[in-house]
């Protein structure tokens, strides 16, 4: 079973500290040290006691993060921790029935539901096979039959929040996940051209590095047309593998 790791970008936000083109470049090249986390991410990492991380959705792209969408494939990074829900959403109180949880209870829940490296694969597959008719149903956001993997999150209203059952991979910024590599990039053509122009005029790379990078993104890029990048990404993920 091939499980792809997904990164989506929100539309440019004035509160986000890094230019979207630099964020995309850092993700494609694993040069994460140049990135600063969004204010919400910094707050949740501090609250949950996590080191600064790079975050991935496991085999689906959340539509809120779909200005562009990138898929990566390969071996699970050894330093990765995988949780069966979006940890930031838990910390910031976005999940029904969790409003009364204390900070320590949230930290304990994340600690109890963090799988190291490949150890997440079996529970992810088992839960998925029991809850969806196909991996495509998970990728496109169908509601799981029995609810989130974490029992504590099975509260009234959970069906309305997809991030409560979307699995999350996080890798320390200090230990780039070199065992995975980009295999697909969806974005609008105008944005893609803007990104290429930025790369070619950037001082970050020498001439050969620019040529190599342009070759990479040109090979994996697909125009998402008039759709959000998450839609064709999730459609493609339905055909990648099965439970």
Q: Domain residue spans in the chain?
A: 5-238
The conformation of residue 55, written as its DSSP 8-state character, comes to E
pLDDT in single tens digits along all 243 residues of the chain:
789 999 999 877 656 667 899 999 999 999 998 887 788 999 999 999 999 999 999 999 999 889 999 999 999 999 999 999 999 999 999 999 998 899 999 999 999 999 999 999 999 999 999 999 988 999 999 999 999 999 999 999 999 999 999 999 999 999 989 899 999 999 999 999 999 999 999 998 999 999 999 999 999 999 999 999 999 999 999 988 777
Cα–Cα distance, 60 to 230 (Å, whole number) = 8
The two beta strands, 115-116 and 81-83, are: antiparallel
Which sign does the torsion angle of CA 243, 109, 45, 63 carry?
positive
Q: How far apart are CA 70 and CA 220, in angstroms?
A: 9
Q: What's the CA angle centered on 45, arms 53 and 237, to 5 degrees?
A: 50
Structure-token pair, residue 67: 């200005």
Q: How far is residue 171's CA from residue 54's CA, in Å, rounded to a whole number?
A: 5
The answer to whether 31 touches 25, Cβ cutoff 8 Å, is: yes
Q: Alpha helices of 39-188 — where are they, by DSSP H?
A: 39-48, 87-91, 103-112, 121-131, 135-139
Among all chains, which residue has been given the structure tokens 């079996």? 122
């Amino acid at each position: 079973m091939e499980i792809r790791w997904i990164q989506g970008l929100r539309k440019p936000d004035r509160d986000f500290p890094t230019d979207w083109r630099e964020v995309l470049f850092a993700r494609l090249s694993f040069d994460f040290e140049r990135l600063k986390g969004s204010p919400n991410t910094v707050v949740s990492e501090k609250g949950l006691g996590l080191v600064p991380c790079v975050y991935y959705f496991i085999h689906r792209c959340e539509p809120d993060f779909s200005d562009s969408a990138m898929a990566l494939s390969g071996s699970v990074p050894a330093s990765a921790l995988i949780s069966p829900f979006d940890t930031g959403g838990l910390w910031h109180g976005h999940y029904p029935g969790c409003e009364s949880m204390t900070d320590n209870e949230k930290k304990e829940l994340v600690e109890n539901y963090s799988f190291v490296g490949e150890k997440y694969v079996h529970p992810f597959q088992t839960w998925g096979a029991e809850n969806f008719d196909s991996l495509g149903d998970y990728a496109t956001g169908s509601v799981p039959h029995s609810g989130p993997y974490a029992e504590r999150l099975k509260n009234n209203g959970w069906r309305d929040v997809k991030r409560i059952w979307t699995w999350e991979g996080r890798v320390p910024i200090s230990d780039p996940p070199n065992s995975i590599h980009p295999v697909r990039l969806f974005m609008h053509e105008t944005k893609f051209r803007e990104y290429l122009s930025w790369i070619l005029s950037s001082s970050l790379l020498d001439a050969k590095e620019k040529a190599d990078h342009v070759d990479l993104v040109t090979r994996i890029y697909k125009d998402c047309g008039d759709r959000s990048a998450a839609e064709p990404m999730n459609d493609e993920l339905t055909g990648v593998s099965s439970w």
